[in-house]
Amino acid sequence: MGIFKRKEKRSADGMVEVGDNILTALIGGSSEVKKAEALQIPTVSACVNLIADRISALPIKLYRENGKEVEEITEDNRLNMLNHDTGDTINATEMKKLWIRDYFLGKGSYTYIERNLFNEPTGLLYVDETRLAVAPGVDPIHKTYSIQVNGRVYFPYQFLKILRNSKGFGTGTSIISEDPLALAIYYNTMKFENATIRKGGNKKGYILAKNKLTQDAMDKVKEAWRKLYSNSYDTKDNAVVLNDGLDFKESSSTSVELQLNENKRTNADEICKLFCMPADVLNGKADEHMISQFVQNCLMPLINTIESALDTDLLTEAEKAGHYYFAFDTSELTRGDFASRMNAYAVALQNKIYQLDEIREMEDKPPLGFNFIKLGLDAVLVDPKTREIYTPNTGKLEKMNAEHLTEEDICDILESRGNPYHDDKGRFTSAGGAGGKMSSVSLPLKPPKISFKERIRLSHEIATDYPQKKPGDKFGYENRNHFYIVKVHEFGSYSFEARLVLSDKNKPYIDILRKELSKNGK
């Protein structure tokens, strides 16, 4: 009985509490699970590997936000290190998988940022979180910490750190330390099942003796029983011969043994909850809704954490001020099956969210060069770049708000129609040696609607003010309210190709047209 001696602590109601270390020894299990042991649990390993495989396959991109526009930066060495060659002995895919494993099962992920003399990153060197130590500061407000590797002290900015539920002192909280009991129960269940298999599946029991056995007889029975439970390959050890007066009584199965498989399934579901992952995702029974939950609740929070870490540790202060940021291309996660994607694209086209070539690009198809989108009734098309409207049933191509053109509008339309003109310091210059003749330029202004009375009045004014104009001449004419582009057919007979209101908004564009007409000598 000496081995059962232990310290006891009696509570007020008479209950006896046994010391944790003694109780653990009696049960034969462990109340603490390490990283290596956690990875031996199938559900933990499957969850970590599935998340790591999904995220490691996503490319990382660099963007710069400029007002309402977002520009993708493609030429940057950091993108090559994050997506291809890390500069280490492991590639980018392996590095991302190690990030996620350390993120969930360790104190965090740490990657050393190797830099050149110009402070530019030249390599991302993964460091096993078990090989480094973090020394936190003592100030709970202005938090500081240092990182030590092989006795050498490093500053936090020298590492890319991806931490789970961090409190700001350089370390995260693993799921092992956050919920050790759930993992310990599953791990000890596996050990119990393993011990049963090692015994060959033989039931526990006890031997009844009618007469008192000598010590030598008891030792021989014990040795025979040990060989029976040892999984020996010797056939003579596969049976125990009981002499007269000895009888084996099988002990009944405990509730733990009877419910072992059910408990394993329940524990596996509980472990999936630690990763915010629907259990059916691992079982292959997940529908589209569950996969969407997996992406939104499990993958996206981790992706956002990694993106924030990249922005903090890999961007310079000037780039942060310039609104640069890293982001995963998550389009592959939400693509779904073919039918679902096509239905989503149809809705996007119908609601003018995407153009046809944008959808073809997402499907890795070559563009068709069709830049029009539908405005409505399947009868009107608009080019969003040039702001031109085309009506198929009439064959007309018109400009939106033609009387209020911007300088950019004029340049875009002239160039889109094959005219060799471009904007150069507030004026149009010929790039193709066409002589700058306005007659060769198809003006984007639609003919104005001028009443008969106004046309007669304008014709009298022009004939009086410009009697020297010849047929075919084109020039600018303005009165108190409008600026006109006038074409001479004969003396006293004129047509009006444009009319712009004289206003501060239109003044810069009227000046452009006035200079162009004057430059051409018309």
- Provide the pLDDT for residue 338: 65
Please name the residues in contact with 82: beta carbons below 8 A apart, sequence gap of 6 or more.
60, 92, 124, 310, 326
Angstrom CA distances, 427 to 118, 341, 410, 423, 438, stand at 43, 47, 11, 6, 13
Q: Which of 34-43, 144-153, 176-185, 352-361 has the highest mean pLDDT?
A: 144-153
Alpha carbons 112 and 161: distance in angstroms, whole number: 9
Going by C-alpha positions, the residue among 115, 116, 80, 86 that lies closest to residue 99 is 86
- Provide the pLDDT for residue 64: 93
Do 484 and 498 form a contact (C-beta atoms < 8 A)? Answer: yes
At residue 202, does pLDDT exceed 90? Answer: no
Alpha carbons 425 and 3: distance in angstroms, whole number: 97
Indicate the residue type of 248: F
Write the Ramachandran bin of 387: left for phi over 0, alpha for psi from -120 to 50, otherwise beta: left
Angstrom CA distances, 483 to 174, 401, 426, 475, 514, stand at 73, 16, 18, 11, 9
Q: Identify which has the larger pLDDT, 366 or 36.
A: 36
| pLDDT tens figures, 253-264 | 555 555 666 777
| pLDDT tens figures, 143-196 | 999 999 999 999 999 999 999 999 999 999 999 988 888 788 788 877 777 766
Q: What is the mean pLDDT of residues 409-422?
A: 47
Report the residue count for the chain.
522
Please name the residues in contact with 273: beta carbons below 8 A apart, sequence gap of 6 or more.
none
pLDDT band, very low/low/confident/very high, at 446 (cuts 50, 70, 90): low
Average pLDDT score over the chain:
75
Q: What percent of the chain has pLDDT over 90?
A: 29
Rg (CA), the chain: 40
Q: What is the mean pLDDT of residues 296-302?
A: 93
- Provide the pLDDT for residue 4: 43
Do 63 and 324 form a contact (C-beta atoms < 8 A)? Answer: yes
- Provide the pLDDT for residue 427: 38
- Provide the pLDDT for residue 477: 86
